[in-house]
Structure 1
């Protein structure tokens, strides 16, 4: 009987601890490298399904490799250079956010921003006059659907969004590839920006937060359908992000002085991210099966 594929993971993922678990439990298996991925094989479908169930438990933290007598090597976590090399899209998007932040003085200098905002605008006195969205699209300015994600207002806004994008973006780029992260980021940005426009009308908004909620929803539902260590996050992270979304929707955060919150972008990003995660996870599960 021919061998059966159990898992396919990018090379940057360290499987040594899980392989140690399999060896400790005397589970027959082998690992090979194919097309830039590491492939875990079993002898037959029954054993492959057993290993997948074990892997799901391992991804959820229910299997302790140390308790089974195996400690992964101290150098198993990839260094910064390796992480940057394996995360070109994550790094590139963050660098663009930093460049735009520097050129606009984090929103204090509005002149360079009118090329990146969802609606083109001009400032006259203390008022901003927005160009109709339809006229911008008719003029071929389709980049405005996604470029607001590079705009940030204040150092805290930029710092928090950058930290979360580095954490979530790397996971998707390592698990599904750079093109997948780029496509998801642009798609989440476009959907969240359109919904924010429909939600609030003509206004000046920006930031990665709509994309972040999309990435969060994607990882959440993908992990539910096709568990992987890269997408395993403490349950408290999801609870915190959803709680923050609820506080923003209630208006309480704005009352605390955090300014206007792009609630439409957050909700839109989360919903479309859940949809892509459900689809991607289901397809990945079928591929493993």
Structure 2
């Protein structure tokens, strides 16, 4: 494809303000000299309209300094992380705890919490009072492998990040506390101590974003099929472990407890009035 000439100007004319904008917007172009003239050549004809806008501003003296595209792209990784400080803080905290697990053995006692009470005391309220909220919830922030940690961090960045961009900071904290606690309680009831991981919270985040996106139209930008896939996968592992105990090695109680808690909180938590108005408008 031949380059398209979009501007001819004397050599004395300074085209640099215009070309800086073109480079900043990643418009492929070239300035060549021909006799006492300079010609601005455009590689892609699809950029002609944008060139015309810039030319008008340049001729009117209204062309300011360009802003790099990388700074303007709202969906860039850096911009997304910058817009979700709470999510980033949670991920960094989990990484630091994982590092602490490799320099200290104090966390091992967390996994043994209530060993003497299970299974005889699992149906007694006094058992859970004795274990305490912290004693049950702290399993959530432990991870026994790097792969498990990375997998959970990835989903926290996606799901909690989507929530935080909807200004649901308080909801994120509530989900971390209650989904982590409900998952730990159910998992301890099913198999006793010795489990770890924030997966119950991840399932709770999935339930929250999935239900509120489908039912209330909250624009998280999460694929709607994700919730169905997660529920199907959980039912598959529960079925496998029921038929062959220990088949998957997955803490199904933690996942189920977190998922159910996430559904409950998503259903009873108020929806922002602006989203309600959007959904109530006739289409």
Q: Same fold by TM-score, threshold 0.5 exceeded?
A: yes
Task: Look up the match of 2:165.
Answer: 174
1:226 partnered with 2:216: yes
Q: Say whether the 8 Å CA contact 1:210–1:268 is kept in structure 2.
A: yes
Measured in 1, the distance between the counterparts of 2:154 and 2:176 equals 15
Q: Which one of 226, 232, 235 corresponds to residue 237 of structure 1? A: 226
> What secondary structure does 2:249 align onto?
coil
> What secondary structure does 1:146 align onto?
helix
CA-to-aligned-CA distance 1:145-171 (integer Å, 9 cap, x gap) = 322111111121111111111110111
Q: Tell me the CA shift for residue 260 of structure 1.
A: 2.2
Measured in 2, the distance between the counterparts of 1:189 and 1:164 equals 15
Q: Which runs of 5+ in 1 are unaligned?
A: 1-72, 122-127
1:261 partnered with 2:250: yes
- Greater shift, 184-193 or 76-85, is seen at 76-85
Task: Look up the match of 1:63.
Answer: none
Measured in 2, the distance between the counterparts of 1:110 and 1:260 equals 25
State the structure with bigger RCO (CA 8 A, min sep 6), 1 or 2.
1
Larger Rg: 2
Q: 1:1-289 alignment to 2 at 5 Å?
A: 75-105=72-102, 111-114=105-108, 116-117=110-111, 120=113, 137-138=129-130, 142-200=133-191, 202-230=192-220, 232-251=221-240, 260-280=249-269, 286=276
Q: Tell me the CA shift for residue 135 of structure 1.
A: 7.1
Q: Tell me the CA shift for residue 142 of structure 1.
A: 3.0
After superposition, the CA RMSD in angstroms is 3.4
Residues 175 and 212 of structure 1: is their aligned pair in 2 closer, same or farther, counting only changes over 3 Å?
A: same
Residues 169 and 147 of structure 1: is their aligned pair in 2 closer, same or farther, counting only changes over 3 Å?
A: same
TM-score by length of 2: 0.60
Measured in 1, the distance between the counterparts of 2:81 and 2:232 equals 31
> What secondary structure does 1:112 align onto?
coil
Measured in 1, the distance between the counterparts of 2:249 and 2:104 equals 17
Measured in 1, the distance between the counterparts of 2:243 and 2:249 equals 6
Q: Which runs of 5+ in 2 are unaligned?
A: 1-68
- Greater shift, 154-163 or 85-94, is seen at 85-94
Q: Say whether the 8 Å CA contact 1:120–1:136 is kept in structure 2.
A: no
Measured in 2, the distance between the counterparts of 1:264 and 1:97 equals 21
Q: Say whether the 8 Å CA contact 2:200–2:258 is kept in structure 1.
A: yes
CA-to-aligned-CA distance 1:96-153 (integer Å, 9 cap, x gap) = 2211222223xxx882214654x537xxxxxx767989578558x5322322111111
Residues 90 and 130 of structure 1: is their aligned pair in 2 closer, same or farther, counting only changes over 3 Å?
A: farther
Q: Tell me the CA shift for residue 219 of structure 1.
A: 0.9
> What secondary structure does 1:175 align onto?
coil
Q: Say whether the 8 Å CA contact 1:90–1:165 is kept in structure 2.
A: yes
Residues 253 and 112 of structure 1: is their aligned pair in 2 closer, same or farther, counting only changes over 3 Å?
A: farther
